[in-house]
Structure 1
Amino acid sequence: MDGGRPMIDYVTLLLINMTAALVVLASFLWWGLDRPDNRSWAPAFGISGLVAAIAGFAMAFTWPLPAPFSMAYGEMSVLLGVLFLGAAWALAAGWRLLPLGYYAFLPGLAAILLGIRIIHLSLTPAPIMPGLGFILTGLSGAGAVALLRWPN
């Protein structure tokens, strides 16, 4: 409690949603990428994207955590959410995902840099796990272009 007001913390929601989103992404890459009709994957991408975008915007604008954490988790969640909403839209419309891979490249690099800084500056009591989470998520974003351009 801060001054009689309860603290609202979206981190658990963001982390569970990010985990679910990455499981959806890995499953899609393993089982759905080469299929001729990928529209059935759109709701899974849409749900995780919507949760990430809404909760990320809420965190980015209300700052329920100390400064570096609200920015790191909130803003990166918005980028992940918008990317997954774009993937849902592209899959539902039958469009190629390569343009989204180009978009994912820079947020992926930002997530890698953020993970490195979390570890290097020891921004949390145990910085390795959150830092590695950002780094691995960032690698998937930065590597999306190469994967989507790879010949079948």
Structure 2
Amino acid sequence: MVIEWSTTAVYNTIMAVSVGIGLLLIVRFFSHLHANKIGHLEGWAIGFAIPGLILTITGFHMSLTWPLSKMGFPFDDIIFGESSIAFGVLLLGITVLLWRKANLYLKQGIDTSNSTVVSEKLRKELPYLLKPISYFGAAMGFALIAMGCAGVTFHLFAAPPQEPISGLFADYPMIEATFMSLLLALTGVGAILFAVNQKENPSPSLFKFNQWAWTITGIIWTAFGIMNYFTHIGLIIHTLGH
């Protein structure tokens, strides 16, 4: 197998890391919020903006140019590209909301470093601000579940044998198909629950399950992306045309 790397691109490494960090940031933010530890909203806004900007740019590029089709995986351009656009734009939306809230609180004379006051105000206001955004997130959550179903049905996501680590399972496509499909589906379930939980007093059990779902998937996406920095470099080395 020889790939002409001068005409294609693989950057779902940083996309996976950004997805994982984005999910973990949301979980951490709401954990701090319910513990009255949210302050300095500008820092949180920038924290969401970093993965949001990366996912929006790379997602748009992947969706518009289909770079993975040149390697024989055009379906991955849809699965990873379009889902990255959606999550990236949502994270940027949260960025704008938090940044504007920080400025508004300052104009009202509220000390934004006072985590108790800021947390109490945000707990009342955020559900109404995030509810409209969460509808699109929930729709994409169902889309992620559909992608997971497609992965199992059509045996997608199998790495080529030239790729280190993941390539060891090239002869057993259902292993990686099942792993990636469950990861996508559980991430999607979390997105649906996030919309359901946008109320002043969400169900404690649903809130906990939402945290659990995105903590697990956030860690896996981050670790998977980090691992792929090794495996994808190995794939490039093993498939260079000479």
TM-score under structure 2 length normalisation: 0.57
The CA RMSD over aligned residues, in Å, is 2.1
Structure 2 match to 1:64 = 67
- The one-character-per-residue Cα deviations of 1:63-82 (angstroms, maximum 9, x if unpaired) are 11121011110011000101
Matched, 1:25 2:26: yes
Q: Which of 185, 189, 195 is the equivalent residue of 1:145?
A: 195
Q: Residues 54 and 33 from structure 1, CA distance in 2 versus in 1: closer, same or farther, beyond 3 angstroms? A: farther
Do 1:79 and 1:107's aligned partners in 2 also have CA atoms closer than 8 Å?
Answer: yes
Q: Which amino acid aligns with 1:151?
A: N
Query: What CA distance in whole angstroms lies between the structure 1 residues aligned with 2:16 and 2:48?
Result: 16
Q: Give 2:92's aligned residue.
A: 85
Task: Tell me the CA shift for residue 37 of structure 1.
Answer: 5.3
Aligned partner (choices 131, 137, 140) of residue 104 of structure 1: 137
Matched with 1:11 is 12
> What secondary structure does 1:145 align onto?
helix
Structure with the greater alpha carbon radius of gyration? 2
Q: CA deviation at 1:50?
A: 0.5
SS state at 2:197 partner: helix
CA contact (8 A) 1:50 1:85 kept: yes
Q: 1:30-79 deviations in whole A, cap 9, x for unaligned?
A: 11367575724211111111010001111111211121011110011000
4+ residue runs over 4 A deviation:
1-4, 33-38
Count of equivalent residues:
152
Aligned equivalents of 2:154 and 2:55: distance in 1? Answer: 26
What displacement does 1:139 show? 1.3
What CA deviation, in whole Å up to 9, does each residue of 1:88-115 have, x standing for no partner?
1111122622221122111111111111
What's 2:52 paired with?
49
Unaligned runs of 5+ in 1: none
Determine helix, strand or coil for the equivalent of 1:127. Answer: helix
Contact 1:119 1:131 in 2 (8 A): yes
Give the stretch that moved more between structures: 69-78 or 119-128: 119-128
CA–CA distance in structure 2, aligned partners of residues 111 and 148 of structure 1: 20
Q: CA 1:7 to 1:33, structure 2 compared with 1: closer, same or farther past 3 Å?
A: farther
> 1:124, CA displacement in angstroms?
2.0
If asked which structure has higher relative contact order (CA below 8 Å, sep 6+), I would say 2
Q: 1:8 to 1:149 in 2, by over 3 A?
A: same
Partner AA of 2:66 in structure 1: W
| Residue identity in the other structure for 2:86 | L
In the superposition, the TM-score normalised over structure 1's length comes to: 0.88
